Amino acid sequence: MNIRNAITMAAIAAATAAAGAFQAAAEAPEIPQVKVRFAHFPYFDHTQSIIGLEQGWFDEVGITFDPEPHGIVVQASEASAVFASGRVDVMSASAQLFLPAAPTLPPLKVFHYADIFQGYAVMAQPDGGAKSFQEILGEGMTPDDAFKATMDQLRGKRFAFPTEAAIKGFIDLSIQKGGMTLEDVDAVGAPDDAANVALMQAGRADFQVGGVPSRMTLQIAGFKPILTSGDLAAYAGPSADSIELRAVFHDGWVASDEWINANYETVLRLTSVGFRINQFINDHADEAAAIHTPFLNSVAGTSFANEVAHVAYTSLDPFWTFDAQTGWIMDKDNPLNAEYVIGSAIKIYEEQGLFQEGEYSWDQFTLAHQVYNDLAKYKSDAETILADLEGSELSDDAAALRDKAMAFHAAFDFLDAYRFAKAAAGG
């Protein structure tokens, strides 16, 4: 080989080596554009999607609500009829809401948990000196003793409550956990929430239990929740037989099995935005409330101040982040695991004779555990690829894809984080 040929071959080899130092990118993945017929209820725990809509987060994953701009708003009492009619693809609801109508509805599942409803509470006068269950527990008592000590503060005192069945169940359970009966309190008649609130504000009742609106009104005014549904559930046994779990439920997004099966990647993307909203509520509650509250007022005809949203976010319906929901999904020792919470609700209807024993199981009404685990797997796989790309000399196209993958990862869209990371790696 002459010198000229040797120089030429060396140059070619050098150029080839230099080219190999750059990671070649595959073609950029596409994000499909999808319209989702979406329905909200006019409550704080069912309208949080407006945050994602206003922030443009659904747009980022190719999702538009139909009808634009934010879907439709329906009353909870209309939920089963609207769902059965096929008017919507996704509804903000809970499995428990649909249980009584399950035999007449198309198969459906919750695919994303947003929050946990724990809205019922024993409320005390702000200047009455009553201690909360959490305060008493913090003094070193066992949970059982703390339940008794908390409720013992009602003994012989004026206690206002309505006769509504769902609320009555919470009252009976609270009294029972306190080792008391209703004969141990001075029961004050209050036919509805408005009367309940009036009795407390006038000082004609020492303690009260009512619906969510009355708790919001009283808590904002400084009245004190001393025992909540969440307190009862947090110390329940991890079993569908735990009656304490009947006082709570997971709210989330529900769709028919047929729609989920036909649109599973859209389900994953919707869920990713749901977790992004939840993280924003936890990290930036004031900003979230400033978006959330005006929308709720506009569709519910209410006039809530932004401060009311904080009661919902922290007490009534806490929105749990992706990381925090691990216990609901994976921890069999966690009483708030959906298996037990939904299972306990099913047992109510078995006891009432609406369902035959064993006719329905908890996983016939939720797919959220599968969706969560699939997102967690995409998250892990994306992180592995992105770690492998660290320190690599990337082409401009590959670097752009890597940056997109990192942005999707930060936005909880782990499906597209994985897809773009894989493309950046040339896969």
State residue 12's pLDDT score.
35
State residue 168's pLDDT score.
83
Stated pTM of the model? 0.89
State residue 50's pLDDT score.
98
User: If residue 84 lies in a helix (H) or strand (E), which one and from where to where?
Assistant: helix 79-85
Architecture, CATH, for domain 121-245 = 3-Layer(aba) Sandwich (3.40)
State residue 19's pLDDT score.
39
User: If residue 208 lies in a helix (H) or strand (E), which one and from where to where?
Assistant: strand 207-208
- Which sign does the torsion angle of CA 332, 335, 340, 342 carry? negative
Please report how many Cα atoms fall inside a 13 Å half-sphere around the Cα of residue 155, on the Cβ side. 10
State residue 23's pLDDT score.
65
Q: Please, what are the averages of pLDDT over each run of 10 residues along the chain (427 residues)?
A: 39 38 78 98 96 98 97 95 96 96 96 95 97 98 97 97 80 94 92 89 96 90 96 95 94 98 98 98 98 97 93 93 94 95 95 95 97 98 97 93 98 98 93
Phi, psi of 354 (to 5 degrees): -70, -35
State residue 414's pLDDT score.
98
| Secondary structure of residue 294 in the 3-state scheme | helix
Same fold, 34-117+250-366 and 121-245: yes
DSSP per-residue letters across 88-157: -SEEEEEHHHHGGGGGGSPPEEEEEEEEEE---EEEE-TTS-PPPHHHHHHTT--HHHHHHHHHHTTTTS
State residue 298's pLDDT score.
97
> Parallel, antiparallel, or unpaired for β 121-124 and 224-228?
antiparallel
For 330-355, give one letter per residue: b (16+ CB within 10 A) or e.
eeeebbbbbbbbbbbbbbbbeeeebb
Question: Taking the domain 34-117+250-366, which CATH number applies?
Answer: 3.40.190.10
Domain assignments of the chain as residue spans, ordered by start: 34-117+250-366, 121-245, 381-424
